Structures are given as C-alpha cells and as structure tokens.
Amino acid sequence: MSFVDYRLLDQKIGEIANSSQLNILFFINPQNLEEQRELFFKELKDGNEYNPIFRYPSKNPLYSYFSMKPTFETYKNELKELLSNLGTDSLGILCENKVLDLIEGLELAKSVGTPNFSENSKQFFGAVDKKLLNDAKAVLNAPEKKVDLKKVSFDEAINIIKNFFKKNKLNYTIELRESSISTFSINPLQKVLYINKKISFDENMVKRLIAHEIETHAYRYENGLLQPYSILAQGTSKLYLETDEGLAVNIEKLKNLHIDSQLRTYAGRVLAIDYASKKSFYETFSKLREHFSDDESFNLTLRAKRGTFKTSEPGAFTKDILYFKGMSLVEDFLKDHPLESLYYGRYSTDEYSLVRGVEGLKKPFYMPKFS
C-alpha cells in the first residue's frame, strides 16, 4: 500500500470542514425572524391561521449564491479527490467517514430553502421513529415537576461563566445576542459562547450552561486539539453530534441538576419534528400548545420548520432529534465504559474503538468535575 500523508490530509479536511459554506446553522436561521414572529402572533390574536414566510441568507441557485467563491461544487470535487488518498487503518476509516459526511453536508447546506431540504435533512440527521416518538410522548404526558430555583442576575451569571473560563484556562469570549433561536450555544472553533440577552437566569440554568456547553462541547473540542490529528477536534463524522448532545444531557444528569423542564423541551423537539414533517407551521404550533406555552410552542415549531421550502407545507429540519435520541445512546454506552472514553475528542460512541486505534492518542486533559 502506498504511503498516506495523514497530516497533510488532516489539514486539508480541516480547511474544508471549517468553511463557512458548511455552517448549516448559519444558513437556516431566518433573517426576518422577529418580523415573522410578530406577524404570526398578530394573526393568531385575530383568530387567523398564518404560516411564516422566512427569508434565508443567499446560498443556492434560488438566491443567486454562486457569486461566492469557492463554490459548493469546488468543495465537493476537492473532497472526492481526498477519498482516493485514504488508507484502511483506523485513521483512514475515520477520515473516509468525515469526507463522505462533508459531501453530504454540502448538499444539505445547498438545499436550504428548497423543496429538497427536508429529505436531505432526514438523510443527514435521521428521522423520528416510533420508539423515539413514544418515549418523547411519555415524557410530555408525565406530570411536570415544578422546582423553586434561586434567581441569578444576568450580570452575575455572566461573571460566573467568565470565572469558570478563567479558572480552567479557556480563552473563550461571550457574545450577547438580541435575538436567537437558542437560549445559549457555543462555537468552540471560534471560542465564543453565545447567550440570548433576553433570558432570565436562575442558579440551575447557569450550572446547566456550564455542564452542557463548556464541560461537554468545549472540553471535547479542546481535548481533540491535543490529539495528533485535528479531525478529532472538528468531529469525526455527523454521528458525533448525536453523541455530543447525548453526552451533554448525561453530564447534567450526573451533576444532579434539575433537568426535568429541559427534558420536556427535548421531547417537545421530537414531537415538533414528527408533526412538522407531515403538517404546516400553524398545525404544528397548534399541536404543541397542548403541552407548552405559546412562546415555547412557536420556538419549538420554528426549530423544526427552519430551512424548509414553505412552512405552509409538510417538511422539517430534523437535527433536534439528536438531543433526546443521543441521551439514551450515551447512557447505554456509559454502562460499560468510563466517562473518559468519550473525551478524547469529538466522535460518536460507535467510533470509540476506531479512535482508540489512532496512533499517538493522548489522554484527555479536560474532564467535567463532580462535587
């Protein structure tokens, strides 16, 4: 077999993987969200059925995207060329999985706002199956546990998070957003934690944020940077996302945080996706009102319908099934493996044996603390 220069290969895969053209979450967040949210609730108040008409960043033939260089096709051709240079050892298999998923991810990003988007999303992230839906419904139909939690001022919460970064020598910044689909999220590559400036913090939410975004997502990324190949920081394949989110929920559980309300939200995302794949935005929203407030129902429906061609038609962005599905997946994995097994970088439970076969693998440095 010919010699494979994995370091050069790893570098090239990283350059393509880190391109903005693969940032699906950037492309699917509507540019006119607040305008459409206001219009939706105005029509709702007047007793009218309204399905939002979302506008997305330009990036495909419908929106004259190909003026940007390099184009999607250029990236796809480069990725296909990489496939011919792969070996058959553990690292070669991981790289092959990554390249194939990058090609599939390009197609998904290119199809945002087109009739193909929902089917591409289903192929990439998966769809709601009967067991997942029944498990989600069981959570939603169970009595909701109310917990009296101590409030924390916004400034105090920010200071706690900043001190956590400083204590653990993580050079991350915090960026506040006027409007965001997510309450908070982290971009380890850019080392930025995004927080919706409109949220109200309680003590438990601050701890959840740290456990979920930093001690899971950021720690796995940072440990991946310490490895001999950056693919372990980028994420070995699309499968790592399910494990990443499932691990985050399990870390919250292991820290005995009050996550009943959050579990209801994750279950609601499953229900929203299942319904959105068959119904309109308005019909999905109406279904979710059986379990959530109007604001929560809108946000859950928005997450399920963003990126689709027309919200008045069936179709869904299915990424949000990963939280609820990944929770059980990781819980089962940890019955037979120590927690450290998932902290060498960003990879799936199924890829752990391949990761262990990578030459020069280093022991995880960042690990969540339990007290």
Per-residue model confidence as pLDDT tens for the chain (371 residues):
346 788 888 888 888 787 655 678 778 889 899 999 999 999 999 999 999 999 987 754 444 444 444 566 777 787 788 887 787 889 989 988 998 898 888 889 888 989 999 999 999 999 999 999 999 999 999 988 877 889 999 999 999 999 999 999 999 999 998 866 788 999 998 999 999 988 999 999 999 999 999 999 999 999 999 999 999 999 998 999 999 999 999 999 999 898 888 899 999 999 999 999 999 999 999 999 999 999 999 999 999 999 999 999 999 999 999 999 999 999 999 999 999 999 999 999 999 999 999 999 999 999 999 97
Q: Is residue 338 assigned to a domain?
A: yes
What is the spatial distance between Cα 59 and Cα 226, in angstroms, rounded to a whole number? 34
Q: Is residue 42 assigned to a domain?
A: yes
What is the count of structural domains for the chain? 1
Q: Is residue 299 assigned to a domain?
A: yes
Q: Is residue 366 assigned to a domain?
A: no
Q: Is residue 362 assigned to a domain?
A: no
Q: Is residue 368 assigned to a domain?
A: no
What is the domain range of residue 327? 6-356
